């Protein structure tokens, strides 16, 4: 990976789905520190300690599945009631800002200093997900979202690999 940087094939290297222990290990031998960590982040899985550790180490964090369960309902990994957009507290904040619940969840991610990758194939949704730079959540609203954490991970190889592939690849205890 490091050689790819010196050869000019990639500008930055990093890791995904690592936890703090793995990052600690990586930092003991990496000649080029990881620029970015990409992990599952949303109000139901906020991983605050991991974020704090990365801030301390100068590693930027990207959140995948920033809207939580939405990608996993069709895969059988989540239920309708797990959807962030169904959350009444998020709905109330969204109403105040004349934004959607999805936009509030994304804005929360941005204001806590992460970048986000979000998928849609619908033009109107793509547009909605991009329109998150013209409003601010207040500190109180950020706190409300912070308290929604349930350590709820929808993308855990220790779970989905067994159901989907009949193999067992746990990362998290």
Number of residues that bind another protein (CB under 8 A): 63
Distances (CA, A) of 170 to 132, 158, 161: 35, 4, 9
* Interacting residue with another protein among 114, 145, 148, 154 (CB under 8 A): 114
Identified binder of another protein from the candidate list 24, 49, 55, 79, rule CB under 8 A: 55
Q: Is 100 in the site for another protein (CB under 8 A)?
A: no
Q: Which residues of 74-84 are buried (b: 16+ CB within 10 A; e: fewer)?
A: eeebbeeebbb
Residue in 57, 32, 141, 67 with CA at minimum distance from that of residue 97? 141
Q: Measured between alpha carbons, how far is 122 from 84 in angstroms, rounded to an integer? A: 19
Contact (Cβ atoms closer than 8 angstroms) between residue 29 and residue 3: no
172 binds another protein (CB under 8 A): no
Please pick, from the candidates 17, 30, 89, 97, the single residue that binds another protein as defined by CB under 8 A: 17
Is residue 50 a contact partner of residue 39, using CB atoms and an 8 Å limit? yes
Stretch that binds another protein, among 40-48, 77-85, 86-94, 116-124 (CB under 8 A): 116-124
Map residue 68 onto helix, strand or coil.
strand
- Asked if 27 touches another protein (CB under 8 A), the answer is no
For helices 123-130 and 101-111, give the axis angle rounded to 10 degrees. 40
Residues 129-148 binding another protein (CB under 8 A) are 129-130, 132-137, 139
* Between 95 and 164, CB nearer to another protein: 164
Residues contributing to the site for another protein (CB under 8 A): 1, 3-4, 7-18, 22, 33, 35-36, 38, 52, 54-56, 58-60, 62, 64, 71, 106, 110-121, 123, 126-127, 129-130, 132-137, 139, 157, 161, 164-167, 169, 171
């Amino acid at each position: 990976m490091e050689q790819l940087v010196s050869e000019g094939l990639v500008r930055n290297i990093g890791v995904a789905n690592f936890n703090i222990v793995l990052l600690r290990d990586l930092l003991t031998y990496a000649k080029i520190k990881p620029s970015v960590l990409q992990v599952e982040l949303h109000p139901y899985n906020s991983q605050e300690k991991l974020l704090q550790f990365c801030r301390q180490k100068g590693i930027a964090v990207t959140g995948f599945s920033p809207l939580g369960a939405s990608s996993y309902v069709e895969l059988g990994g989540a239920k309708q009631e797990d959807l962030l957009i169904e959350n009444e507290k998020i709905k109330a904040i969204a109403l105040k800002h004349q934004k959607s619940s999805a936009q509030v969840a994304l804005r929360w991610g941005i204001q806590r200093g992460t970048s986000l990758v979000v998928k849609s194939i619908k033009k109107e949704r793509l547009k909605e997900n991009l329109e998150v730079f013209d409003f601010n959540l207040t500190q109180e609203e950020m706190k409300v979202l912070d308290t929604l954490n349930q350590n709820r991970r929808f993308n855990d190889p220790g779970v989905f690999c067994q159901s989907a592939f009949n193999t067992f690849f746990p990362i998290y205890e």
